[in-house]
Structure formats: C-alpha cells, structure tokens
Structure 1
Amino acid sequence: MNLENLKKFFGFPLDKKYKENVERELCNYLYHTGKIICIIIIISQLIMMISISARDGGPFATPRRQWYFCMYIILFCISLIFMLVFSYLWNKKKEHCTYYINLWVIYVTFFCLWGCVITLLDQLGGNDLSVFSYIMLTAAAFSVLKLGQSIIVFGGCFLFLNLLLPGIQTVSGNEFSNIVNTFFITSLAIFISTMLYRSRVFTYYDKMLIHQQYEEISHMNNLLNLKVMTDDLTKMNNRRYLEDVLQKKLKTHTKQEPITGMMIDIDYFKQFNDTYGHQKGDYCLQNIAKVILDFTNSENSHAIRYGGEEFFICLFNCDEENAKLKSEYLRKIIEYCNFERDDVPSKCVTVSIGVHTKKVEELITLNEFISYCDKALYIAKEQGRNRVEFY
C-alpha cells in the first residue's frame, strides 16, 4: 500500500478533487444535526442539574456530588457556546467547511473526555462503565470522524480512562475486565464512526455524480434541441422552432400588446444563384441572415429562416406605427450594406418585406398570421420589389 492509498485509508477515501464538494455536504449535515444534538445535550444536562439540586443536601452535599454537578454545568455551557458559535460562523462563512469539521471534532473529543470523567466518578461508587459505553457509541453515531481521527479520539479516551482507573476504582480485581470491556466499546465506536463517515462520504459522492450527470444530460439535450431548431447554413432558428416554440408562445401570450410579423424575401435570388452559383448564393444568405439577426437582438424579437431565400421575423409588443419604421429601417440596412451583384439595375442585393401587425383584440392562428405577411410580401413583389408593404 503506497502513501496515497494509506492517506485514503485513514483519511478522505476519495480523490482530492471531490473533497471540497463532499465536505460542504458534510458541513451541511453537521450544521443541522449538530444543533439538534446540542439541544438534546443541553436539555438533558439541565434536567440532571435540577435533579441533583432537588436531592437531600443539594448539589454540594458531598465532594462526589459537587464533581457531578460541576461536570453537568461544564457540558451544559460548552454545548451552548458551541451551538451558538457554530451557528454564527456558519451564517457568516459557509465556505470554510474544513474549519467547521475540525471544530466539530474538537467538540466530540471534549464530549468523550467528559464521559470518561463521569465514568471515573461512577467508579468511586462501584464498577459502572455504562456512561463510557453510551457516550462513546453516541459520539460515534453522530460524528463524522475519519478512521485516523476516530483512532485518536476514541483511542485517546480509552488510554485516558484506563490510566486513571486503577487509582480510582473502589472494587479491586477488575482491572483486566475493565480494560477488555472498554477496549471492546472503543473498537466498536471506531468501527461505527468510520463506517458512518465513509457511508456519508460515498452517499454525497453518488449524489454529486448523479447531479453532475443530470446536468451533462440536460446540457446535451439543450444542445440537441438547439441543433434541431437551428438552420445549419445561417445559424438562425428554423421552421421547427417556428412550429414548436414560437407557436406555443403565441398561444400562451396573454399580454394586451400588438404583435408584428415580417416576411422577407431576397429579390431575384434564383437569378442570383443562376448567375453566380450556389456557393455565392449561400454566402449571400449568410450575409442577409447576419443583418437580420443583428436587427432582432432583443428577447421580444424572433428571427427564422422560413425556407430558401425567405426569412420570417416576429416582434412582440410592436404596433403598426413601429412596424412601419422598423421594416423600412431593415430594408434600408440591407440595401446600404451594398452586397454587390451586377445582374440587376440596383447593382446590390435588396429585399422585399411583407408586414402584418396583429391588433390587441385580434384572434388569429400562426398559419393565418404568416399567410397575411405572405400576402403583403406578394404585393411588395408585384409593386416592383425592394419595398415594404402591409396587409
């Protein structure tokens, strides 16, 4: 076993690149679970203090009772302070996960040592190891200790208790049985703590991988949907987008605002293809598409390559007055770009535009909406092209 595998065995069981995300989840667990544990401990110590105070003679009747009472107060105060400090720091600096985990390890160590002291006090009145047993197992259950940390914390408490037991226990001849019993409890606590830690780490790791895979799948689906709804040549939305997305948006559009549609056709494009070839024709389509995409760069504008040399634009919240200005502006932009051609009198590429503005109260389907724009485009062609007409 090399050094890296040894570190994984006693420490974090995964690659370091996952450590930050997994520890963030562990911190989240400690924050919520730790508060509940601290509240339970605080309440239990408060009950114990009240109970010992109610006994004959009160909490200071004997030195042993005084020690018990002091230990209850100490655990009560430390747990309260820890809970308040942990909550305060968590709300201020959530990103320091390692710091919080180490803080929790310190508290668990204190809790186990406290159990050892109570066990030593119990030994003055008999041979009871029950407090040591349930404190160690409880700490193992709610802590998040790595194998190395578990050995140090629980093993240290085992040594601390058994070094002091011979000088304190009142029942002689139980040294060996106490060592065996505490060793068994310590080994069980180390095993439980380590297994729970590794279980939580791998659970969070699996959760992280599932989330990562889901995001990757969602990203791939988005890319596929984008590809399906994008025209390869012009990089504009295609007819699929028009039918699947824009049609739904038109149906669910409830705002009281007008909508304008523009059907754009490149003038004499078949003649352009015959004269200059299809490669030049594709280049022409790409140039016109770029102008249209720049024109429709807001979220209320949608540009679609309708087919061949035709493009369709849908402008939400655009009334007829604005439609006249925008459509004429688009026509002029394309003309002023001066995409040269020598086969027409204008000596440049021009477009004809058919426009229809759906009024607020008007109820029409997408097909009707497009057909009205198409009819307006037909009028523009009949009137000599390189012009805008309204239906």
Structure 2
Amino acid sequence: MKPYPHFYPFPKIRLLPVLLHWAADSFDYMAYFDGNGHAYPQGPFENLFFAGNKLLDEEAFFEAMPGKEKVGILGYDFKNSIEKLESKNPEFFPLPELCFFEPELSLQLTEEGFYSKKRLSDSWIDALGSFPRPVDGNLSCAVSPQFPREVYLSKIKTIQDEIREGNTYEANFCQAYSGGFESWEPIAAYLRLNELSQMPFSGLFKAKSQWLVSASPERFLKKSGQKLVAQPIKGTIKRGQNANEDTANREKLLASEKERAENLMITDLTRNDLARVSQTGSVRVEELFGIYPLPRVFQMISTVSSELKSDVTFQDIIHATFPMGSMTGAPKISTMQIIDREETFNRGWFSGAFGWVDGEGDFDFSVVIRSIVADLEVKKLYFGVGSAITIDASPEQEYEECALKAQAILELLSGKPS
C-alpha cells in the first residue's frame, strides 16, 4: 500500500488505546491491523487503522471500486455461496458471512506518528486529543470446550476411517471453546492478547456489537499488482524453555515426516487453487517447509506465488481460493463435507479471512485463527482451535496441539498464566 499523504506527530504508544476507544464510540465499524515488526516472508500486516459507517453488500464487495477501500471479514460459511455446500451445525450467535465496510477514516500508524489518507480537521484532532484515557474493563470470561477429550479422540478416529475409505487425505478438524459474560472489554482484551502473543497478523475488528480479537500467525492471500501470494501453515511445535531446547524443537519440526507431509498436501492444494486464476506456468513454490519462530510456537510455513491472468476479477480470485486449504484439508469439497459432519459448531468468522482491499485492488488477508469472536449484545464469545488429521496422526498428540494453540487465549480469559 502506498503511504498516505498527511502526517501527524502523534506517537503510537499514546495514540492507539485512545484511537481504538474513540473510534468504537464514534463509528459502527472499525478495524486495526498490526504486524508487530515480524520478519515474515512477504512481510507481515501493515500497521493500519480504518473506521466507517457504510456497510457493503456482496455486490459492492466484489465490484471494482477505484480509489475506495474495503475492510472486513469473509466468514467461513461463504463457502456455501461458492460451492454446493451447507452448514447444519448450531451457531453460538448469528454472524454475517460477509462483513465489509467502506472506511471514512484510513490511517497508517508508525512509532513517531500517523499518516492519514485525507487531511484531518483541527476539530477531529482536538476530539481525539481530548478523548479521556480509557480505563480497562473486564477481560475474564469462563469458557469450556464443546466436548471432552474422549469425544475428541473418537472423532479423530472417525476421520481416519474416512481417510482409509479414500474420502479425504487430510482434514482440518476443529473444536470450540465458548462462554458467556456480564461485561467484557474487547479493546483491552486485544491489547492484552497482543502482549501475550505478538503475531504477524494481529487484528481487531468491530461490527456494531460484534467483535473479532485476533492473534493470527497465518496469511491467507496477498495481492500486489499482478502478483498473488498464499502462505499456508501446517506444522506446529512449542518453543523451548532455553536456547538449546528451542533449537532442538525447531529441528524436530523440520525433520518430521508427518508435518512435512501435511504441509506438502496443503501446498499442492494451494498451487492448484492459484493456478485457476494465474498465467500458465507462473505458479511456483517460493519456499517449502520454512520454519519460523513465533512467541509460543514454531510454525512450518510454505510460500506459493503466481502472476494473475490479465482478465481475472477479485471475485474470480476469492471463488478460486476460499476457504483456504489449511483450514479445510484435501481434497477440499469432500473434506469440508466431512468436517461439517464431525464438528459440532458453526465456525462463523473462525477460519474465515480478515483484511482489506485498497483503492487499486491490492489486498492482504489473514486466516482467522487464534482469535476470539464476541457479541457484546448477546454477551457470548467463542474461539476455535484445530489441527490437520492424517492417517498417521496420533489423536492424543493432535489434542495436545490444540491445547497449545489455545494457550494464549485461555491465559487472557482466565487472567492467569497457563
């Protein structure tokens, strides 16, 4: 994204909490993105903020709108609009499958100050500067998993039976934690989660009473000019407690035949998805099995890129690639049918995509994982965790991997170190 033209010397450390609370009071919709300075292949999220009141319908979302930005979430069940699929599992609360707004306010944040897309009035600066410093509210919420360990283990075995029958090769099976609250403060929760787990695709989203608090490690899709980049994650191991253990765990992940097989299957699926909208021969794997350190885990990340065909539309790209293979498995359609049958909740925004489209049609989207979805009106929240199930997967190890992925969020919601 090109730099915005107007600079204001308002340091991020002072600006951010006030900006988020001020915007939450002033706009129906807002979004904040932070890459936390990660050395991520193709770069992490840019540090951007958007706010507005104009919700876009599906036609406007896919329409080319030169000079206008679009920001929001594509929910997992948008798959049903792309393929002949359905979702019968109960939802924790209703969520829009497609929730994008057109920003009235667009900012790029730096440590020294922020850049604005348009010149801001003195009254706007005064209003922001005089907004009272926020006082943190309640971050705690008692949550529980949907089913006990024994049920989880039995479901993994059922999925492995489907693999033996040839109905899937790899399935990303997820479970959810959920809870209710009298009061819960999503902005303070986001700021705290970003202290506990600084991720390359950190984000906060408000859509009236509904919120996303995200610490995602994974990019879904990025477009820069005619270049398209996808970066599926498959392969997770915990960080060590010292340098030697850290190195040993990294090498263990890199050497794992099981994790490499999982990653390779999804990388191949991603290559096939990109090929549907890309120039012949342009799809290439820029990095296979890259191991990257994150605050609590190492992740195995592969990077696939391509050059788009000249006549491809934004809608063509989304229809060819969504949902991301890392959250479905392979082959996509039959595997989505299996996981919908074995899972016990409607994913909603979880495992969808969160990001923005700029005025030139470039975009960047994360995968909605390691993220809390909350509705302050119905006073409920949930988050999902999952892992890739293959024929060689150990149900017990997959259960432990899910617990590792849930660790930072459970620490946040309990107020206690996990």
Q: Which structure shows the higher helix fraction? A: 1
Shorter-chain TM-score: which interval? under 0.3
Structure whose CA Rg is larger: 1
The structure whose residues are more often strand, as a share, is: 2
TM-score by structure 1 length?
A: 0.21
TM-score by length of 2: 0.20
